[in-house]
Amino acid sequence: MKKLYLYISFILSLFFFNEAKAQTLTSDVVVCSKTTGNIVNHSQFLAGEARNSTIYRQCDTTGSSVSSTLRLHKIGLCTSAPTVKFVNADARTNDERRPFDGEVGDSIFTSCQIVVDSTEGYLTALSSAGDVFNVGTDQIVNPGTYTHGIFVIDESVSITAVVNFSGNVTSVISGQDSVSTRCITNGSTIIDTGQQGPIVNDVQYANGGALCHPSTAATANTIRYLYSGVDAIKEDGTAGNTTRNTDSTSLGSVNIYNVNDNLQRVEIKTESNGTTTATTKLLLVVTFINPLVVTENYQYLDVLQNLSRTVSLDFEQGNPLASTTIRLIQQGPFGIAFRSIEDGSKF
């Protein structure tokens, strides 16, 4: 069998969770409207249903300055879906996704071939859309029909972004207002605790995760994702915390799990705003729309992380327009695909 080389091509950028959905969005997601020149229409943040007294929108940031950093631990190809289990019975009971959708015990990946595996992880820096980051390995990929792919990354990611708006937006940091049509990530630390809301610079529901200024340079916001989304996931149709989030994309459905180092779903803990959770990794399980067939004739594989919207914006409700207040800037949505390369030509 010809030796296959795996080249992992990441095309900006990664996202997550609570309010951002994957590319080719589902109907419950509202995408930012823009004016001429890729300028985000700021007035849209004054309308719509609020969650935790905020308004979330996704934005196509093409033409804006965006970069992202994550630590990648594993990539695998699977001939059937892996089974991701809870670490113990309490974890299963306390997870608020209903009806119960998981078992207790060791997760099962026997159908998967791990093609990238690093305990320390690869620190992966991504910049503007279209940039490619390659990770090479001499791992032999076995011929077969692969229906799923898996990714494991750290629970912490970072994003550096500049977003330009059609009108003035206000940021509030330490009680001080700053107003501009240009808002940036400002070096904040953000902990996403699901239904309990984001903790920004150690304060729950705080502002301060963005700065609106005409010239100050952007610095990276670091985000820890301790729980998955707070959509209506309970049996009664209300919101809750969960360790599994599901996105639908044009490239395939994605299940995102909050897991420990053993890749088991962790226990939901709401005390101390949820920060006692044992989440150390994020496990992404991709179900391919079209199975990936690998034969002896293939030279290598591309794994593409492809998206058109890379920033998630968290706004407070404001009135009038001049008081539109941004709370924080987070990572935006993503899509993932595997692509086989034969005879050096892509298809």
DSSP string, 162-176: EEEEEEEEEEEETTE
Cα 330 → chain centroid: 9
What pLDDT sits at residue 325?
A: 86
More confident of the two residues 82 and 16: 82
* Single pTM value for the model: 0.81
- At residue 78, the pLDDT reads 94
> Which one-letter DSSP state was computed for residue 111?
T
Is the distance from CB of 98 to CB of 235 less than 8 angstroms? yes
Least confident of 101-105, 108-112, 124-128, 304-308: 304-308
Q: What is the largest CA-CA distance in the chain?
A: 67
Q: Which two tokens stand for residue 202?
A: 């150690």
Q: Could you state, in order of their start, the residue ranges of all structural domains in the chain?
A: 5-346
For residues 97-122, give the mean pLDDT.
91
β-strand partners of 304? 9, 337
For 38-52, 90-104, 191-205, 325-339, which range has the lowest pLDDT when averaged over its residues? 38-52
Between 72 and 83, residue with greater pLDDT: 83
Q: What is the DSSP string of 268-282?
A: ---GGGGTT----EE
What pLDDT shows up at residue 269? 85
At 341 the pLDDT is 60
Residue 117's closest CA among 144, 135, 142?
Answer: 135
Please give the residue that has the higher pLDDT: either 87 or 293. Answer: 87
H or E element, residue 92:
helix 89-94
**Separation between Cα atoms, residue 201 and residue 121, nearest integer Å:** 26
Tell me the C-alpha to C-alpha distance, in Å, between residue 188 and each of 181, 201, 220, 233, 251: 20, 6, 7, 30, 32
Lowest mean pLDDT among 4-18, 93-107, 121-135: 4-18
pLDDT value at position 154? 93
- Residues 6 or more apart from 206 whose CB is under 8 A from it? 199, 200, 327
Q: How far apart are the C-alpha atoms of 272 and 270, rounded to whole Å?
A: 6
Q: What are phi and psi of 217, to 5 degrees?
A: -75, 145
Among 13-22, 59-68, 140-149, 258-267, where is mean pLDDT lowest? 13-22
- Mean pLDDT for the chain? 76
Taking CA atoms, 25 is separated from 224, 282, 293, 347, in Å, by: 23, 21, 27, 25
Strands 66-78 and 156-173: antiparallel
Average pLDDT over residues 133-139: 54
Task: For 252-301, write each residue's pLDDT tens digit.
Answer: 678 889 999 999 999 998 776 778 889 999 998 988 888 888 877 766 66
Choose from 46-60, 71-85, 192-206 the range with maximum mean pLDDT: 71-85
The residue type found at 77 is L
Q: Choose among 325, 298, 299, 267: nearest CA to 96.
A: 267
Mean pLDDT over 61-70 rounds to 68
Answer with the residue of higher pLDDT: 268 or 46.
Answer: 268
Q: What's the CA gap between 336 and 306, in Å, rounded? A: 6
Q: Is the dihedral of CA 32, 37, 39, 41 positive or negative?
A: negative
For residues 167 and 215, is the Cβ–Cβ distance under 8 A?
no
Q: Can you give the pLDDT at residue 23? A: 32
Distance between terminal CA atoms of the chain? 22
Helices first, then strands: H and E counts in the chain:
1, 23
